[in-house]
Amino acid sequence: MAPPAAPGERWTNDCASPARLYFFADPPDTGKHMQERELLIGNAFRWRPGEGPDITALERMHAAFPRPAKPMGEAWFMSKTRHMFTNLMGDIDAVPVNEFEKALEEIAGGTSSFGPYDEWREWFHYLLPRLVLRANESDIWALNELLVTGFMTQYPSGVADAPYPAFREDVLNTLGRTIMDRNCWRDGNVVLGTLLRRHNRWPSGLWGWNDASGDLSAALFFNIKYLPEESLRPWMTSVLSIACPYWRAQLIAWFVGAHDVLTGQVRQPPDFTGDPDIDWEWSHCLKLENLVPGESSFFPEPNCRAVLEVLAATMTEDVFLQWLLSVAEKPDLEAELFDLPDRFSTLYL
């Protein structure tokens, strides 16, 4: 966390724009602040490499969610004893990432299987702002994948009953920006090994660029689900403007895999086809019938349409050719895409 701010000052991400500094200039309970907050989310929410989670929003979330008085338990109630995550009651910064993964799996799987439970909700709120800056850490998969899944189980139908007025905006400006963290980017390009496909130590020796990385897919679907409809177009425009060849290759894979979701043919994450993969950790538990019975789609249809409209307006044949030429500068990357460029062209051009 940042050190305490001097009176009248606000801490923010080193790479934050002046607009984001202005966003937090007034006390959060004033009408002027609320108008500026809506203006930011409506017109200024972008993904820019290096502009990661907003520290001021994290500070507000920290203050709103103190540690619960009792430890969190596993999602299992049928044995004489129930495992309790007592390790989360101490120094949270000393807990290894795999222990957080176990706790978040219990929150996500338990809520999906047994319904809302105050204990898990309170612990998720506590963990969220304390893990955002560690979201790109991984044991096997990036922690942000489980943070997104956990959030979606707690807020499966938009951010209803927000714990405080600025909560949705704070979450978008923190969890919604983890993939842009400055430690993962250099000169507008992904630092390999920090996000997207993280290594090529599989038996095949391949990186797996032909499947969308779980951290990318989770981040994209998170913003599609929670951004206001009017914010989707400027945000998606910013997503498509990032010129890194690895980023472009992964977007090609994601758009091919997500086509049936964006067009309304696939209604929920458990039904993702896997050709190519666009799932992420524990996204299989995001079931409509368990979390939002009666709703027809897990992702807002107007938001999905907005994504498709921006892609159609942006992705001309000439632009796509530029994407492919940049990917071709990385021969190993190009080779792993197989037929995905042709499939993308068939679907979207």
Residue 77 has a pLDDT of 67
**Torsion angle of the four alpha carbons 44, 46, 52, 57, in this order, in degrees rounded to the nearest 10:** 30
Crossing angle of helices 317-328/245-262, nearest 10°? 130
CA-nearest of 132, 129, 125 to 153 is: 125
Residue 24 has a pLDDT of 33
Q: Which DSSP state fits 30?
A: S
Do residues 341 and 252 make contact, with C-beta atoms less than 8 angstroms apart? yes
Residue 106 has a pLDDT of 96
Strands 189-190 and 185-186 turn out to be antiparallel
Do residues 54 and 13 make contact, with C-beta atoms less than 8 angstroms apart? yes
Residue 75 has a pLDDT of 86
User: How high is the mean pLDDT in each 10-residue block of the chain (349 residues)?
Assistant: 37 34 33 41 81 96 98 82 93 96 96 95 98 94 96 96 96 98 97 88 86 97 96 96 98 98 98 95 97 95 97 98 98 96 98
Q: Which DSSP state fits 73?
A: B
Residue 339 has a pLDDT of 98
Domain positions in the chain: 18-348
Residue 43 has a pLDDT of 54
